[in-house]
């Protein structure tokens, strides 16, 4: 089945908001084996919406419209589709009843225009809106499937997942449920990962293999359709084994969790605590860790030693090590080791992780932008230090340094 997504809304055309709905729908459709061939954005203008619908009808089997289902005179999608298909609009009574109850409950009068949100095409299937007022529509006409969804993502997403997607699947032949397996990687970049799996990716059919990369993490999702979980496992497992035989050392989880979440769970399950000492990453590692709900079970805190003063006063590193002729300096193996060891010692945490380097925009201590040392220490033991040369701008170097430190901590925890 070939699909087109049409987003209706002048606020999208003007750039006031980003069309995140298109991404969400494209992914959801890919999951059920529907390919999206075009995405279009049109304004709240009847003739241009009509043009977009007619064009889409000429080139795809499934047209999904988002937006334009609201109460105002600018919300035209249903009216235009009704005209294009030669149908009337009728009231969807359950939606109207729900709306009346809601307004009564709030004690405010229901403006007449709100009733527009309960309208649906005469010969369509209503799609319930569990998180809003405008009812969705699904209709097949002359072999083309049309779906109308609301624009606000908090209404669009549940309506698509709960009602539109099953409706689409019901129109597809012989559709079995989908089973997926997510493999999460650390310590390997997107291009190296693709390189190692390129034969599998290029030859994929069933299961499908989709690489994902964002914010310093890479993942692979394996997906298949099967009559049962056992049958799915019979196809997913051999492929997973093949990938593990090539890249197993980089796989930290077979579920969709972040590396920081995985590490914090591991630590918490062992009753262990972590502290960090950050220089060039400037708090980003701590911020990542504390973005995980429940992180306080394993994360004690740490020190942002952004200056030599802080490295000396807070982390107790001798000034002679940081400054002066022949000193290793703040950006050195010695200082990374001392930062990791000392932060564990000072806080009593079981593990100390440190990051020191040059995020730019200029060099520091005559050392190049992107040079980063990561230190990992068990409390009371000598730290191991890894020297990295990161590329990219200030933001990228901070992010990669933070993610790298997590990778090296993960390796220690595994060993």
- 34 DSSP 8-state letter: P
Q: Please report how close the Cβ of residue 306 comes to a second copy at its closest, in angstroms.
A: 4
State the nearest-atom distance from the C-beta of 249 to a second copy, in Å: 26
Shortest Å distance, C-beta 408 to a second copy: 19
Q: How far is the CB of 146 from a second copy (least distance, A)?
A: 19
- CA-based angle 186:191:197, to the nearest 5? 85
Report in angstroms how near the CB of residue 279 gets to a second copy at its nearest: 8
Least Å distance, CB 274 to a second copy, is: 10
Q: Which is nearer to a second copy, 139 or 409 (CB)?
A: 409
CA-to-CA separations, 286 to 222, 279, 298, 331, 353, in angstroms, rounded: 32, 11, 12, 20, 11
The distance of closest approach from Cβ of residue 120 to a second copy in the complex, given in angstroms and rounded to an integer, is 27
Q: CA angle, corner 288, sides to 285 and 289, nearest 5?
A: 90
Q: Looking at 35-164, list the stretches that DSSP marks H as alpha helix, in order from N- to C-terminal side.
A: 46-59, 77-85, 93-106, 153-159
Looking at the Cβ atoms of 232 and 285, the one nearer to a second copy is 285
Residue partners of 260: CB distance under 8 A and separation at least 6? 288, 289, 291, 292, 295, 406
Q: How many CB atoms sit inside 10 A of residue 318's CB?
A: 11
- Nearer CB in complex with a second copy: 136/282: 282
Burial of 285: CB neighbours in 10 Å, binned 0-12, 13-18, 19+: buried
User: Residue 140: in which H helix or E strand, if any?
Assistant: strand 136-141
**Smaller CB separation from a second copy, 41 or 84:** 41
Taking the least distance from each CB to a second copy, the nearer of 48 and 378 is 48
Q: How far is the CB of 361 from a second copy (least distance, A)?
A: 5
| CA quadruple 223, 211, 172, 21: dihedral sign | positive
Alpha carbons 118 and 131: distance in angstroms, whole number: 14
Residue closer to a second copy, measured from CB, 139 or 315: 315
Name the pairing type of β-strands 274-278 and 299-304.
parallel
Residues whose CB is less than 8 angstroms from the CB of residue 30 and which lie 6 or more positions away in sequence, other chains included: 36, 210
Q: Which residues contact 204 (CB under 8 A, 6 or more apart)?
A: none
Q: Are 354 and 314 in contact (CB under 8 A)?
A: no
Nearer to a second copy, 328 or 392 (CB): 392
Applying CB under 8 A, which residues contact a second copy? 12-20, 22-30, 36-43, 48, 52, 55, 212, 275-276, 278, 281-287, 289-291, 293-296, 299-307, 309-311, 313-314, 346-348, 359-361, 394-395, 398
If the CB atoms of residues 18 and 203 are measured against a second copy, the closer one turns out to be 18
CA within 13 Å, CB half, 214: 4
Q: Which is nearer to a second copy, 12 or 138 (CB)?
A: 12
Q: How far is the CB of 293 from a second copy (least distance, A)?
A: 5
Q: Report the residue number, 246 or 313, with the smaller CB distance to a second copy.
A: 313
36 vs 139 by CB, closer to a second copy: 36
Minimum distance, C-beta of residue 396 to a second copy, in the bound complex (Å): 10
Strand, coil or helix: 275:
strand
Task: Name the DSSP class of 25.
Answer: H
- Give the nearest distance from C-beta 200 to a second copy in angstroms: 18
Q: Distance from first CA to last CA of the chain, Å, rounded?
A: 48
190 backbone φψ class: left, alpha, beta (φ>0; ψ -120 to 50): alpha
C-alpha closest to that of 317 among 334, 302, 301, 300: 334
């Amino acid at each position: 089945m070939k699909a087109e997504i049409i987003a209706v809304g002048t606020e999208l055309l003007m750039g006031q908001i980003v069309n995140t709905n298109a991404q969400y729908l494209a992914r959801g459709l890919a999951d059920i084996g529907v390919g999206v061939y075009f995405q279009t954005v049109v304004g709240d203008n009847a003739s241009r919406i009509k043009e977009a619908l007619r064009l889409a009808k000429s080139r795809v089997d499934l047209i999904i419209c988002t937006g334009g289902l609201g109460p105002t005179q600018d919300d035209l999608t249903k009216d235009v589709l009704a005209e294009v298909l030669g149908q009337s609009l009728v009231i969807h009574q359950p939606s109207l009843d729900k709306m009346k109850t809601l307004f009564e409950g709030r004690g405010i009068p229901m403006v007449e225009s709100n009733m527009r949100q309960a309208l649906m095409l005469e010969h369509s299937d209503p799609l319930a809106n569990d998180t809003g007022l405008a009812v969705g529509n699904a209709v097949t006409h002359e072999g083309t499937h049309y779906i109308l969804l609301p624009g606000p993502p908090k209404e669009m997403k549940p309506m698509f997942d709960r009602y539109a997607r099953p409706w689409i699947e019901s129109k597809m032949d012989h559709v079995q449920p989908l089973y997926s397996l997510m493999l999460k990687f650390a310590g390997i970049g997107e291009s190296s990962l693709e390189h190692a799996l390129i034969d599998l990716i290029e030859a994929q059919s069933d299961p499908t293999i989709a690489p994902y990369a964002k914010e310093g993490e890479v993942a692979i999702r394996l997906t298949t359709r099967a009559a049962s979980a056992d049958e799915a496992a019979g196809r997913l497992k051999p492929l997973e084994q093949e990938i593990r035989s090539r890249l197993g050392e980089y796989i930290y989880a077979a579920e969709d969790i972040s590396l920081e979440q995985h590490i914090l769970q591991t630590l918490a399950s062992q009753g262990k605590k972590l502290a960090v000492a950050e220089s060039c990453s400037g708090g980003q590692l701590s911020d990542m860790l504390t973005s995980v709900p429940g992180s306080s079970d394993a994360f004690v805190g740490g020190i942002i030693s952004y200056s030599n003063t802080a490295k000396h006063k807070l982390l107790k590193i001798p000034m002679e090590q940081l400054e002066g002729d022949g000193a290793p300096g703040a950006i050195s193996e010695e200082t990374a080791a001392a930062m990791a060891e000392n932060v564990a010692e000072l806080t009593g945490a079981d593990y100390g992780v440190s990051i020191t380097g040059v995020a730019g925009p200029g060099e520091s201590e005559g050392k190049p932008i992107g040079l980063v040392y990561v230190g990992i220490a068990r409390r009371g033991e000598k730290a191991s230090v890894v020297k990295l040369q990161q590329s990219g701008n200030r933001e990228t170097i901070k992010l990669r340094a933070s993610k790298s430190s997590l990778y090296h901590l993960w390796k220690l925890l595994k060993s």
